[in-house]
């Protein structure tokens, strides 16, 4: 069983890794993911006892609190930290002046010590608490974190009478922690803004009476009133003549969309026109907004490989750093007349510079920002791991019907006996195939014994007579003689008692954004675009002639599509976009899969890695660009952080780096990495 737990007060990325390690080691728990940025814990548990144990571990871990799902996200003000920094700075400045003038050294020492205490008291408290946990809980890993590194560096500086460096270490560290908290808090605010997509109330109309209710209480079939400025509380079908919707919250683009009677409207959009009435088509819990919130909140559970690496890296890195620093302080003096004083500063510098905060904060922050940015465009990501896969895509394959086309079938012309339309409608009325939509408004007799013939059509009885409805292949296999219609339209052939009756043509227009979307994928670096369809090659080529498609794989049965997808993977990492139940086997073999969220089947959405909540293909190029930008920023942060730290370490070992500059360098690297991560939140062009 799966559970996502909201928490707060988990303000340390290293602590998140430690908590995840504790939960993963507990009995009955698996696939544990603790996310420092989103303040959420995702886990699989085997029973209620295992879940109770997990809740006990979480609630007793440092200051972590479990937040009820209905509780609002609290905005952190960090006032206490700001006051500590201000007091420390006020004490540090006159101490620095006295130190430069070389006067009143003991007064300067007292002021430096006061500056250290004002900025570092929380660090001292954390280290003391960690020491207590080592003795009470036997958790030795709890001691080795960035608090210990900074405290040792600062106290060591005071011990060798580098008073200014001792104070500045703690002051700069706390300034860096404060700025980091602001940056991460800003990213956490993205969740709060997403939650604003969901309105607090809805106005339901029953027996002519208006009542204000919670959107969660809406059911399919309820009639609601949407006033000007109201957010849609659920996915609805318009009952009034027309409505003007602002879709920015769902698509990322601010423009008004005109909706006509009978058309669907997605939850989260805003009614910018006159008041209208609408009918709820699905509960609020199944709406597009609900999908966005659920997927974005749970996306942190599936971490990308760089995230997994950094988590494991940090677990062993800090103890190794402490050991190396001790060796630097002890080993060289043994060969230099026991001159320990000379090597203490490089050892302390090494401790400060080695702090892994830049990596363990910026990498998950970048992925979270990437997931949130794609959500603004209506692209829902099921995990950061899929962002990495999407960034590598070089080949794309599409289902035709309902994906590149609108999937809204209508009857064209009837060729032959006019009874063909009624007979086709009778059998199609018992089918869940998308083609059956075309016959929904046709009055037809009730069928009997309807059976679907996969990839070919239907057979059944109408008025006691055996009827076949389907493709040319079906009639040919049953030995029915019929004239082949010379047309590019989709044809549904009808036979009764083995005799050809007639043919019904079906029309399905391309999506208006299909051409721009495929062209955008080309520009985003997709080198090969293919279409997989069960339609004939001639009809598929005629329907897709205006699109930049390299290859059309036609006349495919459902079992043929995965085989074709495997072949296409020879062109590189494969992206597949589909909308139906028949697409799920292809999605399973593809490297990356995308489902249409509105028209798409539940099975396709479940099997996919990404979901287009608005059913608009125009978001696909932005998704690819966003994924590649995310990976680029992650690589930049990893390379930059490691390169700068190695350079600072080399300078420190050569005796060319004061302790204060080491702290400033470490803090600067962390801040630059975090700020670089926040570039991911910018608009994708």
Give the pLDDT mean for 428-437: 80
Q: How many CA atoms lie within 13 A of 537 on its CB side?
A: 3
Give the tens place of pLDDT for each residue, 190-208: 545 555 556 778 899 998 8
With a cut of 90, say whether residue 517 has pLDDT above it: yes
Q: What pLDDT score was predicted for residue 131?
A: 81
- Taking phi over 0 as left and psi of -120 to 50 as alpha, with beta for the rest, 89 belongs to alpha
Give the tens place of pLDDT for each residue, 46-71: 888 888 888 888 888 877 888 764 44
What are the DSSP calls for 304-365, one per residue? -HHHHHHHHHHHHHHHHHHHHHHHHHHHHHHTTTT-HHHHHHHHHHHHHHT-THHHHHHHHH
Strands (E), 169-251: 202-206, 209-213, 223-226, 236-238, 242-246
Q: Is 399 one of the annotated active-site residues of the chain?
A: yes
Higher model confidence: residue 226 or residue 154? 226
With a cut of 70, say whether residue 271 has pLDDT above it: yes
Alpha carbons 156 and 163: distance in angstroms, whole number: 10
How much of the chain, in percent, has pLDDT values that exceed 90? 19
**Centroid of chain to Cα 657:** 41
The CATH number of domain 202-293, selected from 3.40.50.970, 2.70.150.10, 2.40.110.10, 3.30.9.10: 2.70.150.10
The CATH number of domain 410-507, selected from 3.20.20.80, 3.40.1110.10, 1.10.760.10, 3.90.1150.10: 3.40.1110.10
SS3 268: coil
Catalytic residue among 35, 163, 388, 399: 399
Q: Does CATH place domain 2-67 in 3.30.70.100?
A: yes
CB atoms within 10 A of CB 55: 15
Give the tens place of pLDDT for each residue, 536-588: 787 788 888 889 999 999 888 778 889 999 999 998 999 999 886 677 788 88
Least confident among 288-297, 525-534, 608-617 = 288-297
With a cut of 60, say whether residue 273 has pLDDT above it: yes
Give the tens place of pLDDT for each residue, 242-261: 998 887 666 555 567 788 89
Residue spans per domain, the chain: 2-67, 202-293, 371-404+510-627, 410-507
Domain spanning 371-404+510-627, CATH class = alpha beta
Q: Please indicate, yes or no, whether the overall pTM of this predicted structure exceeds 0.85.
A: no
């Amino acid at each position: 069983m799966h559970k996502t737990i909201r928490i707060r007060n988990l303000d340390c990325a290293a602590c998140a890794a430690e908590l995840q390690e504790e939960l993963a080691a507990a009995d009955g728990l698996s696939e544990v993911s603790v996310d420092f940025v989103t303040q959420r814990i995702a886990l699989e548990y085997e029973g209620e006892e295992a879940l109770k144990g997990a809740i006990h571990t979480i609630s007793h871990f440092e200051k972590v609190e479990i937040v009820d799902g209905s509780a609002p996200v609290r905005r952190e003000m960090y006032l206490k930290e700001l006051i500590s920094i201000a007091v420390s700075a006020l004490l540090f400045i006159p101490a620095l002046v006295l130190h430069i003038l070389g006067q009143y050294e003991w007064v300067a020492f007292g002021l430096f010590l006061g500056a250290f205490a004002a900025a570092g008291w929380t660090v001292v408290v954390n280290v003391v608490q960690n020491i207590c946990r080592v003795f009470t809980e036997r958790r030795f890993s709890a001691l080795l974190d960035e608090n210990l590194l900074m405290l040792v560096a600062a106290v060591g500086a005071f011990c060798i009478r580098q008073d200014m460096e001792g104070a500045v270490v703690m002051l700069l560290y706390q300034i860096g922690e404060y700025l980091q908290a602001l940056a991460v808090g800003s990213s956490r605010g993205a969740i709060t803004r997403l939650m604003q997509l969901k309105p607090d109330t809805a106005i339901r109309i029953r027996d002519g009476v208006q009542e204000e209710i919670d959107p969660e209480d809406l059911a399919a079939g309820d009639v609601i009133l949407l006033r000007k400025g109201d957010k849609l509380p659920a996915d609805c079908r318009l009952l009034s003549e027309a409505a003007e919707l602002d879709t920015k919250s769902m698509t990322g683009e601010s423009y008004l969309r005109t909706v006509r009677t009978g058309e669907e409207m997605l939850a989260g959009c805003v009614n910018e026109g006159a008041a209208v009435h609408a009918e709820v088509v699905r509960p609020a819990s199944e709406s597009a907004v609900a999908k966005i919130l659920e997927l974005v909140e749970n996306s942190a559970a599936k971490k990308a490989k760089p995230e997994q690496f950094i988590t494991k890296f940090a677990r062993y890195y800090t103890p190794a750093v402490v050991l190396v620093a001790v060796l630097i302080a002890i080993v060289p003096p043994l060969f230099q007349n026991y001159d320990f004083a000379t090597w203490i500063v490089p050892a302390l510098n090494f401790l400060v510079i080695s702090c892994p905060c830049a990596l363990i904060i910026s990498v998950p922050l970048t992925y979270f920002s990437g997931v949130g940015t794609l959500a603004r465009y209506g692209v829902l990501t099921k995990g950061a791991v899929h962002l990495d896969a999407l960034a590598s895509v070089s080949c794309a394959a599409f289902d035709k019907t309902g994906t590149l086309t609108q999937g809204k079938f209508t009857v064209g012309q009837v060729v032959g006996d006019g009874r063909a339309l009624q007979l086709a409608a009778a059998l199609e009325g018992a089918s869940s195939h998308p083609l059956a939509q075309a016959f929904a408004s046709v009055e037809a007799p009730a069928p009997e014994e309807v059976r679907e013939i996969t990839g070919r059509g239907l057979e059944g009885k109408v008025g006691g007579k055996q009827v076949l409805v389907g493709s040319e292949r079906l009639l040919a296999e049953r030995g029915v003689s019929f004239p082949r219609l010379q047309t590019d339209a989709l044809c549904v052939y009808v036979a009764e008692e083995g005799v050809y009756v007639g043919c019904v043509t079906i029309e399905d227009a391309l999506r208006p954004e299909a051409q721009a979307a495929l062209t955008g994928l080309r520009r985003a670096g997709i080198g090969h675009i293919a279409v997989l369809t069960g339609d004939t090659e001639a009809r598929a080529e005629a329907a897709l002639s205006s699109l930049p498609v390299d290859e059309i794989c036609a006349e495919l049965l459902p079992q043929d599509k995965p085989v074709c997808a495997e072949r296409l993977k020879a062109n590189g990492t494969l992206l597949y976009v589909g909308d139906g139940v028949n697409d799920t086997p292809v999605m399973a073999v593809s490297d990356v899969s995308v489902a249409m969220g509105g028209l798409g089947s539940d099975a396709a959405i479940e099997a996919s890695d990404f979901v287009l909540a608005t059913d608009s293909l125009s978001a696909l190029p932005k998704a690819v660009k966003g994924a590649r930008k995310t990976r680029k920023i992650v690589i930049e942060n990893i390379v930059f952080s490691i390169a700068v730290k190695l350079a600072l370490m080399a300078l420190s070992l050569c005796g060319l780096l004061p302790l204060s500059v080491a702290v400033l360098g470490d803090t600067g690297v962390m801040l630059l990495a975090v700020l670089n991560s926040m570039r991911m939140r910018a608009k994708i062009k």
